[in-house]
Structure 1
Amino acid sequence: MNYERTTRYGDLVLDRECLFAIRGGNKVHFTRNERAILLALSRNPNLLMTRSRLLDEIEADEDRSDRYIDFLINRIRFKLDDNSKSSTFIHTRYGEGYTWVATQNAVVKIDAFLVIAAKFSPDRHIIGRDASALIERLHKAISAGVAPHKTILASENWRHGVKDKVRHLLHLNFQASGETIFCVVTLREMPSRRITMSFPVDLKPSNAASLTAGIDEISRTVVVALNRSLDNASTGLGLASGDPTEDRLQQTSIVLLGANPRWTSGAQLAEERAHHPGNADLAFQWCLHLFSRLTVANPFESVDLAERHRFEREIEATVLEHLPSAEDNPLLMFAAAKLLYYIDRGHLELAEDLADRALARTGDSTASFALMGQLRCARGRFDEAVEFFDRGTKQIDLGRDFQLHIRTMKCLALLAAGRRAALDAALAQIDTAPPCPHYIASMVDWTFSPHEQPLSAASARALAAIGPTGAANAIEYAYLTSVRQMISEQARANVMRGLIAQVMRVHGVSAIPAFFRSAIGLNAAA
């Protein structure tokens, strides 16, 4: 486990301010001057620190001789259990000075559904091994009560690292009194640190039946609270409440697809909204319906720009109106993030915040692989985007449409990043054979083919068949659905260049909508 204020060098744990060190289970403290010398050395690794330089670090009223520096170094070595003849930490350069030669361990990033953190009273020796064994038993009991793929970790005195991703924190505060161990159990939802459950338990380690009952009480209560949290986090967007939690979280991945036929019919939704105008869930479903009318379409057929603008303004106004209600529902937060990202009206930071917090609440990123990848891609963080998309490709149970969508998103990220070799390898994994619609197969071919090379004869005939108007519509569709959201002008140009080049070869420059050249920031046809 990583500690917020410590640094590791092999088996040595060193406080970042050199207040203490732990090695071999033994904790040692340093005097003021030892600390000053240790700080100077460890913060300048592999650099020679002369004795005169180290003298500048200690108090002015101390001994100012080289011999005093040697004395301090020997004291530090003794406390670190460092052998001067085969030094692990401080190397002597005879006649010159000293060098810190230890290599800092890589920081371990924690990605866990639950961390069990134990804190002991100062008289920990009274609790002894009994509490440690209890934590281990509790860890096993809670692990058995939640989904097997969820990571659960246990640690003493754990502190949340800046880059850690922890969904829930179970804090156990132990106090000993005679034969009884008093334990206060607190469950927090991370990263908000909102307390979702807290209660006391008295444990008697000497009484096996009492100890087992206490462990059962803690684990049972915690598991119920965790599962209730997951259940609440997977309710909404019209998903059947009777389905298992894990199934609903997976279904969300499909519900939030960029091209999901589920939302194309809005008659029933309109009727339900008329009866329940303040219902946030119905409002977001309606927005997904409008979104689908802009994305679930043949890309060769134009959507009137005035109508598109009206739909996007309605989506924006509705989402922003119902955001306060969405704060208690991660699925609605995912939907809000998806919609605000799509309409590209300056809400990218808000969309990222909503998605990140919803991801932390669900404890399972299955529902957000595609969305999180798109958000990272928009920021130009292409490696992170590809990582999300790759994790999504492993979810084969989500079906062929999801696989096609997320693999295409990965290819767009690689194309935007200008990584041609990786793109060619990723394209080999996309299945555009029937029943994949012919227009999707054609768009994939035209978009990802190298812009400097002509299309195959069959693909060129397909592009010719849609005429210059259909080709212009295809460019419009590609840009508005997948490209305009990218901040980088170069990334937008990288994605559009191939499609524009192929259209120009077949239909000439007149088929290129004029405003797209300025929209992408570069002349993508060049």
Structure 2
Amino acid sequence: MKGLRFNNLEFDEAFLTARAPDGTSIRFTRQERALLVRMAAHPGRLFSRDELLTALGSRGSDRNVDFTINRLRAKLGDTAARRRFISTQYGEGYLWVAATGDAPRCDAILAIAPLADGPEPVARLLDRLQRAIEDRLGRTGRVYVSSDGGREGAHRFELEVTAHRIGERTHVALVLRDARTAEVLSPLRTSFETDNSPAPDAAALADTLTEAMWRHLVLRPHAPVRPTSPPLHIRLHEASEVLDPPGHIWERNAAMIAELEARTPHDPSLPVLRAMQLLGTMIVRPSARPLNRRTVEAVECEIESLVLSAYERVGQDPVLALACAKLLLNTNRGHQELAEQLATAAFASSAAFAASFPMLAEISASRGDLAEAVRLYDEGLLLCERGSTFETYILVLKAAALIAADDRAGVEAVYRRLQEIAPPDLPRYALAFLPADDGDGLARNLAPLVDRATPGEARHLLALLCFRFARRFVRPEHAANLMRGPLTWMIRRFGPGIVSDELWCDIPEELGYLRAGRRSVAPS
């Protein structure tokens, strides 16, 4: 395997190092090399954890395999949304999926695959279609026309194109598939006069195909709910990772929901999608809606109205019912009992285990049963793909419950796992893990992040903890435990003036002692 190139990385013959296009060198440990050599020699073969543990020369737990795989993924830049090197087969093991070749093809979203050479106008149509879809994605290199029927690369979707000329007309069939399952998502057909008229509107076709990809990622209308199916908000997040232009997270979701609302205004799923969009953007795009009592209550009022108008009509869909439960619980407007009824019914009547466990855990945590909440989060973690966005989400919620219970050892264990996953936004929310005691090991690790924090980031963190997390806990000491560490460190860093008078009114009374020096200590 001398000088092998996988995706955009060039590996040396012993897998000691790999070189990125910018010249950066990546070095691998002995255990990482052992797995690379074993898996890359057999692309597409499924390796059990026991087989890979043997390759590591270890008799320890198969968690050693998971740990090494996640370190490799972090070094290789293997994101959870689109595995380009190592894929997980849930409950079975791992397989090497990296194809040789250049990065654009291996990091593509869509492969356009003509099944046979067609007339020249068809080639021009496909070229325009490629550019039109990339315009909607806001980036080039994510769509390519395949030379081998779509078999090369690690794309997410395939568009099979068949063209026939009959008389003066060319007839074209376009079949969009999920590249992983071969499921047909959208069959299209068009025709045109081959010699005397322009080819069909590529922009309109691009709109239809982009919408079909989004529908599949978010709504999955034809896929049965499975025990490992993620909840609705995770689907929305993953759709934004695949389809949104860089730096514009969740904008595609907003546009698609608006289009569907205009076209099918009576679809009962749309108010739930709109409400989840509102909740998500309040967190992922803080500059759009600053977090304070007025903006939070306005959004929560809108979410409440949307969900109450729809929850009875979507009750047979467990994913949508669980989404309603989450939204009602998060509005803090007295709907905890209804949220619990919806979540319990969805769990009891469907296979949506993975989506149900974190929701039931949130309900347990909100009413003060933190031990039960942690147990339910652990049940959910058993069902989600390791290293995925879904795992990160459950871990963050579990950490909140552990912080509320003042279980610092448990919090450190969760943080170590998040470091293994290495989600790109970990530095943004890691400060929420801060303990009040600066002698804690986690505090020492996070101190550099505190030094780099800006006043704006500090204010957003404290408002986020106060309005989106602490208010969920019915017991004041749990809410106080959640805020004590970050509040202590931000006041130490910037002075008590970093907290507005308005926010002090919502901070648990148990933390009032931190405000004592507000007028005598100047912000740094």
**Structure 2 length as normaliser, TM-score?**
0.50
**Structure 1 length as normaliser, TM-score?**
0.50
Greater Rg by CA: 1
